[in-house]
Structure 1
């Protein structure tokens, strides 16, 4: 049975609201949660971008059961991987073993702010590979140094590790978009992350050592009893989703996304994102992920002010229907 997750979308709500939302998701019965890690929203209309790791720390204290996960953190430009390792170990302790570290090669939108430029795609994957090696090295305990092509670590050590309290290390998930990233994920990751239900990504992940490991996907949805309003909201805040990963990774700011999506129509968005309150539409949108081999699917309810009605509906109607898949 596929597990259904809830997304704390930092681009569309402030930090306190996000924590309230995940508490509601736990109460509604979602199997897990994920959290985006952005410095900018995709579009100005979304309106938010709080620091994800502070939100996660608060969420760990406010919840009891629901697993937490970054979806995803880029450990290469805005954050040094040694610092990400410290964040992740601390989160695993705060959550008492409920945290998973989702990593990816990032987007210019969030990483350009530190003024280090934006590497080519193949370089970003090389950097991600080194970053995972550093994080795992630090997770191993003791003093750790590393000298790679892209990163150096000098005599680092994590002084608070999950093992100190009898907890497992946080599993590492790696986001994929092509053969090379699938190779890194299969060899170095404990799970794979993808935003599209492409079976070829899962097959490549399996070829490179990922067979039997969890596969986590994500799907935006726009619940609302007024379908036209739900479509309008999805178009206003999520039309960037139509760009595809290769475009989305390269644009520098919300103005860039606004320009790139100026000709995307509401009907275009409604053709890819389930909108309204017909449970069958939402089930059919999740089905391709299940058929492609995903074991977990995190849903994103569009609209920061629309979470409470969505959570009530999900508990009552959506989650029972999805568990029949």
Structure 2
């Protein structure tokens, strides 16, 4: 059975609503939850970007069953990896073992704010590799000293360390990132139902480890309204990782997506309330080999109706996959 997750999309809702929504998602029967970690929304129309780690702390206390996961945090620019390790260990304790640490090489959209510049993809992967090595060393306990090309750690130690450290996931988009994930991660993360990514992950040491995908959906009884909302807030989604990781702000994403039509968005994002369309989109991930798929309901003020519909209609259909 494919596990179905719920996404706390920080770009489209404030912190208190995000917590209320994940509580409702737990009640509705979602198998896990993930949260985006952004400093900016993709587009101005989304309108939000609260601090994901504060939301996670509140969510850990407000829920009791549903697993939590960053999807994803960049541990190598605006955060130092030693601090990410401390945050993740604390969340694992607060959630009583329900937290997974999803990591990625970052996006210019969020990481440019500290003024370090935005290097090429090869450098970003080098930084991610060192960051994961540091985090894993700190999870093992004791004092850690690390001398790398990009990071130094001087006598760091996690004083509040869970008995079972959070599993680490790494986001991938090509063979280089699959090599890093296969060697260092407990699970692999992707936003495309691409079986080749899972194959490469397995080839580099990830065989038998789970794959977690993510899928935007736009539920609304009025399909025209759903398509319009998806176009307004998610037309950037089709740009692909190589484009999306490079643009520096919402204005850039608005410009890059100005020629995307509503019908283009509707071809890649299930819109409306026809269950078969949603099942078909999730099935693409299942057929590619993903064990878990996190859904993003487009529109911060449309979570309640979606969660009610998911509980009564969508989740029973998806759990039959």
- With normalisation by structure 1, the TM-score equals 0.98
Query: Deviations for 1:38-66, whole angstroms, at most 9, x for unmatched residues?
Result: 00000000000000000000000000000
Which residue is equivalent to 2:313?
317
Measured in 2, the distance between the counterparts of 1:137 and 1:284 equals 41
Q: 1:157: which partner in 2?
A: 157
**Match runs of 1:91-110 below 5 Å:** 91-110=91-110
1:269 to 259, 265, 269: 265
Residues 215-247 of structure 1: per-residue CA shift (max 9 Å, x gap): 000000000000000000000000000100000
1:119 Cα deviation after fit: 1.1
Give the drift of 1:293: 0.3
Match of 2:192 in 1: 196
SS of residue in 1 equivalent to 2:149: coil
Unpaired segments of 5 or more residues in structure 2? Answer: none
Cross-structure match for 1:229: 225
Counterpart in the other structure of 1:249: 245
Partner residue in 2 for 1:148:
148
Counterpart-to-counterpart distance in 2, 1:25 and 1:229: 23
What do residues 278-306 of structure 1 show as CA deviations (whole Å, max 9, x unaligned)? 00000001111001000000000000000
Cα shift at 1:249: 0.1
Q: Shift of the alpha carbon at 1:78?
A: 0.5
Q: 1:171 aligns with which of 167, 183, 194?
A: 167
Q: Deviations over 1:80-108 (max 9, x none)?
A: 00000000000000000000000000100
Q: Any residues of structure 2 matched to 1:120-131 within 5 Å, and which? A: 120-131=120-131
Residue of structure 2 in register with 1:183 after alignment: 179
Secondary structure at the counterpart of residue 217 of structure 1: strand
**Partner SS, residue 145 of structure 2:** strand
Can you list the C-alpha shifts for 1:125-160, whole angstroms capped at 9, x where unaligned? Answer: 111000000000111111111000010000111100
Alignment equivalent of 2:213, drawn from 199, 202, 217: 217
Name the residue aligned to 2:52.
Answer: 52
Structure-2 separation of matches of 1:198 and 1:215: 11
Aligned to 2:78: 78
Structure 1 consecutive aligned stretches of length 4 or more whose deviation exceeds 6 Å: none
Equivalent pairs counted in the alignment come to: 321
Measured in 1, the distance between the counterparts of 2:56 and 2:202 equals 30
Equivalents in 2 of 1:291, 1:211: separation in Å? 17
Residue 210 of structure 1 deviates from its aligned partner by 0.6
Find the aligned partners of 1:143 and 1:316 in 2 and give their Cα distance.
50
SS at match of 2:268: coil
| Equivalent residue, structure 2, for 1:137 | 137
User: 5+ unaligned residues in a row in structure 1: which ranges?
Assistant: none
Report the counterpart of residue 37 of structure 1 in structure 2. 37
The yes-or-no answer on 1:117 pairing with 2:117 is: yes
